[in-house]
Each structure stands twice: as C-alpha cells, then as structure tokens.
A = this chain, B = another copy of it.
Amino acid sequence: MLQLEVAVSKVGKYATLESGDTLEMIERPHGGISFVLVDGQRSGRSAKVISNIVARKAISLLAEGVRDGAVARAAHDYLFTHRQGKVSATLNVASVDMVSRTLVLSRNNHCPIYIFKRQDLLTLDEPSQPVGIYRNTKPIVTELPLEAPTIVIIFTDGLQTAGSRKGQSLDMPALVQEICPDGCCSAKMIADRLFNAAYTLDEKRPVDDISLLVITILDKPIDQDGRHLYLALPL
C-alpha cells in the first residue's frame, strides 16, 4: 500500500498584501489529483490577478479530464490571447494520475524540479519557457512511476532568491539530503524544514513570493484510513 503525502508552504513577498503566486488543487475525474502552481509576473495584486487567471484555466480543464500537456498549452494560449503576449507567468502542474499510475510533472518554469529516489537525485532543469509571452509555448512533461520512496520538490523563484539580500542562497538538494538521508520522509516535514530555511535566510522579510510544493510517495502502514487534508492560514 502506497501513501501519497503533499505539503504546500506559501508566503508573500515582504510588505505586499498578498502573494502573487497561486496554488490550487483539483480531483482528476478519472482518478487521482492535480496541483497547479503559478507565479505571476511582478508581485502583489497585479501578479495575483495573472496567476489567478492561469491557475483557474488550468484547474477548470483538469477538472474536465483534459490531459496535462494540453492543459499547460491551453493555459499559455489563454494568457497569451488575453494579454497580447505582454505578461508572463511560470506554471507547474503536478498530477497523480491513477489511470496511468504515474506522477506527471509539467513544467513551464526556469526553476528546476528536484526528484529524490532514496540517495539518487534527478534534476529537471531543461530550458523551459514561462507561459504567456512566446507563441506556441509548450511544457516540458516528465512522467514517473508511482513508487516508493519518491520525493518531488517544486517551487517558485522566491525560494531561489531567498537570502539574496545578503548575498546568500539555499543549496536545496543538499538540504533535502541532509533533512532526509534515506529518502523516506513525510512531505510535511520536508516542506516545513525547507520553508523555514528559506524564510530564515530572508530574515522573515521575503525578497519575493515564496511557494513550495513537496510530494512524497511512501511505502508505509497507514496510521489513519481515508483521505485527510489540513490547511492553516492567517486571516
């Protein structure tokens, strides 16, 4: 029996009212679940409007059963048409597809995706275009079998720029391997540690919106049957 765990941590750029990043999740009609992470150009309200448009389009298509590669293309075309190619956003779609029994990672983001299989690190960093500005933009799609242990780390560039105010940066792969040497850890633990490391490096005043999505697949006895979701946020 495999257990899927997903953890998301998000905080807005310091002194902005809201994060320009949007994270949404939706059930897949043929089974499984998808996560959409969008970072709108610039920050604050204008970025939020853009990331909301792109995420909404992606989510509504995923909910109708549209395949992930087509979803990313459609989200691009929609933003490109809507804003005449003048506005960009990064887009990551991560899906647990129960039909193909794969993890489908679709990437339109200069930030890499890190995948850990026990001690092995796979970095998805092929050059990739954001959506919205170049005609016919396509996602880079990677499919992985659903098998334990797997750790997938997806993030927006606020995590990469964390610490830049004082000329520092996170070595994320090294940090994940330090946090979880055997590759078998809960998504929540990894996300909490990575998020706190970035947030501390930014001295609690993030240089940019930070969003982090961690997916783990573990081969472990379930401590609780059923599905469980937990969300906490300041009002």
Contact = CB atoms under 8 A, between A and B. Distances in A.
Interface of A: 1-11, 18, 22-27, 29, 31, 33, 49, 52, 55-56, 59-60, 63-64, 96, 98, 146, 187-188, 191-192, 195-196, 199, 204, 210, 217, 222, 224-235
Contacts of A228: 7-10, 191-192, 195, 231-233
Contacts of A192: 224, 228
A2 B234 CA distance: 6
B1 A234 contact: yes
Please state the number of chain copies in the assembly: 2
A9 B229 CA distance: 7
Contact of A232 (B3, B8, B18, B231): B3
Contacts of A5: 230-232
A217 B235 contact: yes
Given A226-B9, A231-B229, A24 B26 contact: yes
Contacts of A3: 232-235
Given A199-B225, A199-B226, A227-B231, 18 more contacts: A3-B232, A4-B233, A6-B232, A8-B230, A9-B227, A9-B228, A23-B229, A24-B26, A26-B59, A27-B55, A29-B49, A33-B231, A60-B63, A192-B224, A217-B235, A225-B234, A228-B233, A229-B230
